[in-house]
């Protein structure tokens, strides 16, 4: 099953009940010529949804939300005992240690075989091996390690028609999984892993697709280039609020030193959701980042009677104010009303998928479809009400709009309408949204997180604070996803924070820190990707034992380990200089 289909199933499951109920109450949608009526209905529905959000929330029935910022209290900056020491690979293994193994010299079991003709580039020795995806198929190698310590295991490997996942075992116990995404031989090895001295049997298997291995090398670990984690202090918005600057500076200090844990809650239920319950019950920890979705605040969904969106601002405020947690918001932006139920028998609540709407972003932006352009402005302005309210409450947001716009960069297959008109239209929409929220609505609590997936969809450094990527790896594939991390680093020549903005499987933090793919945070999507609803336990995407290990890793920050974010320094270097 394609990665995006897996996510679609989980997302649609969360909205199906709302869709069925709302559909009974409203069966028709506005035509393009009725935009004024649509505006009115959307505004009425939006105000009704917001009426329970709080005394100072955007609840006036006839006017947009009027700004009413809370007074700002003086802040005494502190970092507490938060440790920001650099984290580098270390080992007692002699620097000149090296053991090289030609794969074809190993003990081959089952359907593994030696090949000597390749379309995968040059190979060393007399050939290379193929390891088929089969429980009985493997390749084994005897290696003697004189010193206990950390090693790099270089695995020169490739895959055939689809990405492969390999499993490496030592003396019968799993060490790591590896991801192989190139059809040419390259290193997909394990970095800086601690191994005991002595003679060991290393076994290589495939758990997805055919795996080809040319050569394996054991050596002392390479050092990680820590300079890539030094990012500039300034946010894209020069008028960002102090609380936003504090959060961003905290993430700058984390980057390369820690990965912050995150979780999207089902049905926008926040920390009371089943996802958070199961994680805490299993690991003893709570995620530091709460992920919420503005999907139900899309005007075209409100017109159809959708509900639940009113919970978002209150969940965000509670998480920040009462839990010292971090909030990230995405927006599955439903296409405007006249463009719903127009394609492939799609339901109105499926209107964010390009498969189910005939809305053309390119035509709207060019004004060929001027009413479509007006709807875009209307929708951005509607979402601005919620974001402005959170700004007035001084809640900083990791704002991740227009996500996954480019689809999978390997296939160039955008699945959301905001990406299906191509990279140029997507970038124009990003800039339009940035300008409208920043310069028209003066919303200053947003840290702009781009995860358009495809580098061609990158709108430019001046509009982006953080770069993210959404990865839905196969069940059990806890590899670091280094190839994707490096792809995102290549998007721009400027160092930017790189985050795993959505995931199914949580990458192994030990592997990520060892090979330099040090994601600033992860944010597991809700539902089946984190818990088995039937048994209320961690699902087998990451698995219970791995989840316990990862959430309790010294490199993963959970809610209880965060410093006081409201008083975190805006400028760490200046703070430390003044508080020696």
| Percent of the chain whose pLDDT exceeds 90 | 84
- pLDDT tens for 529-574 read 999 988 899 999 999 999 999 999 999 999 999 999 999 999 999 9
pLDDT(270) > 70 = yes
DSSP 8-state secondary structure symbol assigned to residue 521: B
DSSP assignment of 273-312 equals: SHHHHHHHHHHS---SEEEEE-GGGSHHHHHTT---TTHH
- Collapsing DSSP to helix, strand or coil, 555 comes out as coil
User: What is the value of pTM for the model shown?
Assistant: 0.85
- Tell me, what's the pLDDT at 20? 30
331 phi and psi angles, rounded to 5 deg = -145, 105
pLDDT grade for 118, boundaries at 50, 70 and 90: confident
- Tell me, what's the pLDDT at 35? 36
pLDDT(498) > 70 = yes
| Percent of the chain whose pLDDT exceeds 70 | 89
Residues linked to residue 400 through DSSP beta bridges, in sequence order: 330
Mean of all residue pLDDT scores within the chain = 90
Q: Where are the alpha helices (DSSP H) in 104-222?
A: none
Separation in Å, CA 361 to CA 107, 255, 369, 411, 428? 57, 35, 9, 20, 10
- Tell me, what's the pLDDT at 45? 35
- Which of 29-43, 148-162, 394-408 shows the lowest mean pLDDT across its residues? 29-43
CB count in 10 Å sphere of residue 287: 30
- Which of 56-60, 170-174, 187-191, 439-443 shows the lowest mean pLDDT across its residues? 56-60
- Tell me, what's the pLDDT at 390? 98
- Tell me, what's the pLDDT at 288? 98
Beta strands 397-400 and 446-450 are: parallel
Rg of the chain on CA atoms, in Å: 25
**Distance, CA of 409 to CA of 455 (rounded, Å):** 8
CA 441 to chain centre: 27
**Distance, CA of 225 to CA of 78 (rounded, Å):** 29
pLDDT grade for 341, boundaries at 50, 70 and 90: very high
Q: Which of 428, 502, 528, 549 is catalytic?
A: 502
pLDDT(513) > 80 = yes
- Tell me, what's the pLDDT at 39? 40
- Collapsing DSSP to helix, strand or coil, 338 comes out as helix
- Tell me, what's the pLDDT at 9? 38
Residue 574 exposure: Cα atoms within 13 Å on the Cβ side: 7
Q: Name the residue with higher pLDDT: 22 or 249.
A: 249
pLDDT(21) > 90 = no
Q: What is the mean pLDDT of residues 176-198?
A: 94
pLDDT(82) > 70 = yes
Contact 31, 353 (CB under 8 A): no
- pLDDT tens for 428-443 read 999 999 999 999 999 9
- pLDDT tens for 458-490 read 999 999 999 999 999 999 999 999 999 999 999
pLDDT(6) > 90 = no
509 phi and psi angles, rounded to 5 deg = -65, -30
Contact 437, 387 (CB under 8 A): yes
CATH of 3-20+36-65+241-578, one of 3.40.50.10190, 3.40.50.970, 2.30.30.100, 3.20.20.80: 3.20.20.80
**Distance, CA of 333 to CA of 125 (rounded, Å):** 54
Q: What is the mean pLDDT of residues 82-109?
A: 95
Query: Does the domain made of 98-219 have the CATH classification 3.40.50.10420?
Result: no
- Tell me, what's the pLDDT at 304? 95
- Which of 18-27, 184-193, 361-370, 460-469 shows the lowest mean pLDDT across its residues? 18-27
Q: What is the mean pLDDT of residues 331-358?
A: 96
pLDDT(24) > 80 = no
pLDDT(2) > 90 = no
DSSP H or E run through 199:
strand 198-208
Contact 57, 117 (CB under 8 A): no
Return the structure tokens found at 457: 């969809």
- The C-alpha angle 491, 495, 500, rounded to 5 degrees, equals 65
Contact 251, 520 (CB under 8 A): yes
Domain range list for the chain: 3-20+36-65+241-578, 98-219
- Tell me, what's the pLDDT at 61? 42
The answer for residues whose C-beta is within 8 angstroms of residue 78's C-beta and 6 or more apart is 563, 564, 567, 568, 569
pLDDT(54) > 70 = no
Q: Which of 102, 296, 310, 404 is catalytic?
A: 404
**Distance, CA of 14 to CA of 264 (rounded, Å):** 12
Q: Rounded to the nearest 10 degrees, what angle do helices 274-283 and 544-551 cross at?
A: 80
Is 502 designated active site? yes
3-20+36-65+241-578 and 98-219 have identical folds = no
Q: What is the mean pLDDT of residues 183-194?
A: 94
Residues linked to residue 115 through DSSP beta bridges, in sequence order: 128
Return the structure tokens found at 288: 């530091």
**Distance, CA of 496 to CA of 40 (rounded, Å):** 41
Contact 288, 262 (CB under 8 A): yes
Q: Rounded to the nearest 10 degrees, what angle do helices 423-435 and 370-392 cross at?
A: 50
- Tell me, what's the pLDDT at 57? 53
- Tell me, what's the pLDDT at 119? 85
Is 243 designated active site? no
pLDDT grade for 280, boundaries at 50, 70 and 90: very high
Beta strands per DSSP E along 63-183: 98-102, 107-109, 113-115, 128-131, 138-145, 149-159, 164-170, 173-180
**Distance, CA of 519 to CA of 496 (rounded, Å):** 11
- Tell me, what's the pLDDT at 337? 96
- pLDDT tens for 217-250 read 999 999 999 999 999 999 999 999 999 999 999 9
- pLDDT tens for 281-307 read 999 999 999 999 999 999 999 999 999
Q: What is the mean pLDDT of residues 241-268?
A: 97
pLDDT(344) > 50 = yes
175 phi and psi angles, rounded to 5 deg = -90, -60
């Amino acid at each position: 099953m394609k990665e995006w289909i897996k996510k679609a199933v989980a997302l649609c499951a969360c909205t199906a009940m709302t869709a069925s109920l709302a559909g009974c109450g409203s069966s028709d949608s506005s035509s393009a010529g009725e935009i004024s009526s649509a505006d009115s209905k959307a505004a009425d529905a939006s105000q009704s949804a917001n009426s329970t959000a709080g005394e100072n929330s955007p609840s006036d029935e006839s006017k947009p939300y009027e700004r009413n910022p809370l007074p700002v209290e003086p802040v005494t900056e502190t970092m507490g005992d938060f440790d920001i020491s650099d984290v580098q690979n270390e080992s007692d293994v002699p620097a000149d240690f090296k053991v090289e193994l030609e794969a074809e010299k190993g003990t081959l079991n089952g359907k593994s075989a030696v090949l000597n003709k390749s379309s995968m580039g040059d190979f060393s020795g007399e050939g290379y091996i193929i390891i088929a995806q089969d429980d009985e198929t493997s390749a084994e190698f005897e290696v003697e390690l004189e010193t206990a310590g950390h090693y790099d295991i270089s695995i020169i490997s490739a895959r055939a028609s689809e990405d492969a996942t390999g499993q490496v075992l030592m003396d019968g116990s799993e060490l790591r999984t590896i991801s192989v995404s190139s059809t040419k031989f390259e290193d997909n090895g394990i970095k800086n892993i601690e191994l005991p001295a002595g003679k060991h049997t290393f076994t290589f298997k495939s758990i997805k697709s055919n795996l080809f291995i040319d050569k394996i090398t054991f050596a002392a670990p390479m050092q990680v280039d820590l300079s890539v984690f030094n990012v500039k202090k300034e946010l894209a918005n020069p008028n960002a609020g102090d609380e936003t600057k504090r959060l961003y500076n905290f993430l700058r200090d984390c980057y390369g030193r820690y990965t912050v844990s995150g979780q999207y809650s089902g049905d926008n239920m926040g920390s009371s959701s089943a996802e958070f319950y199961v994680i805490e019950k299993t690991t003893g920890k709570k995620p530091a980042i709460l992920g919420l979705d503005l999907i139900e605040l899309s005007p075209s969904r409100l017109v159809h009677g959708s509900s639940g969106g009113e919970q978002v601002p209150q969940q965000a405020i509670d998480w920040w104010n009462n839990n010292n947690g971090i909030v990230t918001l995405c927006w599955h932006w439903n296409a405007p009303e006249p463009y719903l139920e127009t394609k492939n028998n799609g339901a109105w609540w499926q209107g964010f998928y390009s498969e189910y709407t005939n809305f053309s972003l390119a035509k709207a932006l060019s004004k060929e479809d001027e009413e479509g352009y007006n709807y875009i402005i209307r929708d951005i302005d509607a979402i601005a009400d919620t974001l402005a309210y959170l700004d007035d409450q001084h809640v900083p947001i990791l704002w991740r709009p227009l996500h996954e716009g480019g689809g999978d960069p390997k296939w160039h297959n955008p699945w959301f309408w905001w990406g299906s008109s191509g990279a140029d239209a997507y970038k124009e929409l990003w800039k339009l949204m940035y300008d409208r929220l920043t310069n028209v609505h003066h919303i200053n609590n947003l840290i702009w997180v781009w995860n358009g997936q495809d580098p061609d969809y990158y709108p430019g450094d001046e509009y982006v604070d953080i770069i993210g990527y959404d990865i839905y790896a196969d069940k059990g594939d806890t590899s670091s996803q280094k190839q994707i991390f490096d792809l995102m680093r290549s998007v721009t020549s400027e160092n930017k924070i790189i985050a795993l903005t959505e995931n199914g499987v949580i990458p192994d933090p030990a592997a990520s820190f060892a090979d330099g793919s040090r994601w600033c945070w992860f944010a597991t999507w809700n539902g089946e990707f984190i818990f088995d609803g039937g048994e209320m336990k961690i699902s087998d995407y990451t698995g219970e034992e791995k989840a316990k290990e990862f959430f309790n890793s010294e490199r993963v920050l959970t809610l209880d380990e965060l410093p006081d974010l409201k008083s975190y320094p805006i400028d760490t270097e200046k703070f430390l200089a003044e508080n020696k």
